[in-house]
Structure 1
Amino acid sequence: MDEQLKEQLVLEATRMLDKAYVPYSKFPVGAALLTKNGQVYGGCNIENASYGLSNCAERTAVFKAVSDGNTSFDYLVVTGNTDHPISPCGACRQVLAEFCDADMPVLLTNRKGNIKETTVAGLLPGAFQSGDMV
Structure 2
Amino acid sequence: MNKYPIGVTPGARINLIEKFDLSDAHYIDWEIIVADPSKLQEFIHGYRSNNWSVDEKYALMVIIVASYEEALKKNREEETIWNEIRSILITDMEIHVETIITWSLKEEEYTQEEIDDGDGFLITKRMIEVYDFCNIQALVDKDRWNSFDT
Question: How would you bin the TM-score normalised by the shorter chain?
Answer: 0.3 to 0.5
By percentage of residues, which structure has more helix? 2
Of structures 1 and 2, the larger Rg is shown by 2
Bigger fraction of residues in strand = 1
Q: TM-score, normalised by structure 1?
A: 0.38
Q: Relative CO higher for 1 or 2, CA cutoff 8 Å, sep ≥ 6?
A: 2
